[in-house]
């Protein structure tokens, strides 16, 4: 079930991808367990097929669609992105995904839609209880969601997305901390007001709405100045907006990123 030859993208990094083994065994996916190794061991708790993704809220053409339909609407491409986790580690991941902006165009957001809320799958019977206020939710400003770098990932390393990485479809926003990339999406909802995300609810003093990678704004409990690229020994300096400043810096022109962290 590979995707076949995929179009390369000028938005991909030329850095060496992190090993497939590391990408698929070192995961934060709390619904499947809170240790990094848990999600890969608990893949049976989430059935990625059949799947329905709802696109709803303030749009002219709301719809529910399966993964195959989604891929027919917008052809997938390869995007090799840096991923920086708020915990201070990073990877380079060759995603297979569709630009979220292309999908947004098709559903026609209404003028009052200012934000997009992402809702993850949650099944109380099989998944972690407690820890966070489930289901996991995330959010983006509409212009962030439309940005060409923002994708809905459906695969990695040319293969169908493994469960532990958020099968069958997840958000990837490479200039933000990894937790913004909500996994196993069941709904994409267009709203007027800034949504409160799962992590904002869990720790309002530690997690803001934007969660942009920023070496100058420390997490209250750990520094964000450096990161360990998985597979490397010494740490490297963390880059502003995870090295995507040239592409996305203008989204935050005039904003105090210390305040809007």
Partner 1 sequence: MTPSNPQLTAIKAALFLACLLPAGLLWQGFEADSLGANPIEAITRSLGEWTLRFLLITLAVTPLRKYTGWHWIVRLRRTLGLFAFAYGVAHLMSYVWLDQFFDWPAIAKDILKRPFITVGFAALVLMIPLAATSSNFAIRRLGGRKWQSLHRAIYPIAMLGCLHFWWLVKKDITEPLVYSVILAALLGVRMWWREQERRRQLAGAYLPQTPKFKGKVIKIFSE
Q: Which positions touch partner 1 (CB under 8 A)?
A: 19, 21-22, 25-26, 30, 34, 36-37, 87, 89, 131-132, 202-203, 218, 221-223, 225-226, 228, 230-231, 233-235
Please state, in angstroms and rounded to a whole number, the distance separating the CA atoms of residues 210 and 141.
9
Shortest CB 61 distance to partner 1, Å = 37
Dmax (CA) of the chain: 51
Evaluated on CA atoms 57, 58, 62, 68, the torsion sign reads negative
Nearer to partner 1, 30 or 51 (CB): 30
Please name the helix (run of DSSP H) or strand (run of DSSP E) that holds residue 106, with its range, or none: helix 100-107
Indicate the DSSP class of residue 185: E
Please state, in angstroms and rounded to a whole number, the distance separating the CA atoms of residues 137 and 217.
23
Nearer to partner 1, 2 or 202 (CB): 202
Give, rounded to a whole angstrom, the gap between the first and last alpha carbons of the chain: 39
Shortest CB 46 distance to partner 1, Å = 18
Indicate the DSSP class of residue 6: -
The beta strands (E) that lie in the chain are given as 53-57, 63-65, 77-84, 89-99, 115-120, 137-141, 151-156, 159-160, 170-172, 185-191, 226-229, 236-237
Are the CB atoms for 238 and 228 separated by under 8 Å? no
Nearer to partner 1, 52 or 223 (CB): 223
Please state, in angstroms and rounded to a whole number, the distance separating the CA atoms of residues 58 and 46.
29
Shortest CB 60 distance to partner 1, Å = 38
Are the CB atoms for 135 and 55 separated by under 8 Å? no
Nearer to partner 1, 143 or 218 (CB): 218
Shortest CB 171 distance to partner 1, Å = 20
Shortest CB 230 distance to partner 1, Å = 5
Shortest CB 15 distance to partner 1, Å = 17
Contacts of 102 (CB under 8 A, 6+ apart): 73, 74
Shortest CB 71 distance to partner 1, Å = 29
Nearer to partner 1, 75 or 231 (CB): 231
Nearer to partner 1, 90 or 150 (CB): 90
């Amino acid at each position: 079930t590979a995707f076949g030859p995929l179009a390369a993208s000028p938005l991909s990094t030329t850095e060496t991808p992190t090993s497939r083994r590391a990408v698929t065994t070192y995961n934060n996916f709390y619904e499947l367990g809170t240790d990094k190794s848990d999600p890969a061991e608990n893949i049976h708790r989430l059935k990625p097929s059949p799947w329905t993704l709802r696109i709803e809220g303030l749009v002219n053409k709301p719809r529910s669609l399966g993964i195959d339909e989604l891929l027919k609407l917008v052809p997938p491409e390869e995007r090799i992105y840096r991923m920086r986790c708020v915990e201070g580690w990073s990877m380079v991941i060759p995603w297979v995904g569709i630009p979220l902006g292309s999908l947004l165009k098709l559903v026609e957001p209404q003028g009052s839609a200012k934000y997009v809320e992402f809702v993850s799958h949650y099944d109380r019977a099989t998944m972690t209880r407690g820890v966070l206020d489930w289901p996991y939710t995330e959010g983006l400003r509409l212009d962030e969601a439309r940005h060409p770098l923002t994708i809905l990932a459906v695969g990695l390393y040319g293969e169908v997305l493994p469960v532990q990485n958020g099968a069958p479809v997840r958000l990837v926003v490479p200039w933000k901390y990894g937790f913004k990339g909500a996994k196993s999406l069941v709904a994409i909802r267009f709203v007027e007001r800034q949504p409160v995300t799962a992590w904002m609810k869990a720790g309002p003093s530690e997690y803001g709405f934007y969660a942009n990678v920023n070496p100058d704004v420390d997490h209250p409990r750990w520094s964000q100045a450096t990161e360990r690229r998985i597979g490397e020994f010494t740490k490297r300096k963390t880059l502003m907006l995870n090295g995507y400043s040239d592409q996305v810096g203008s989204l935050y022109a005039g904003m105090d990123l210390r305040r809007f962290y």
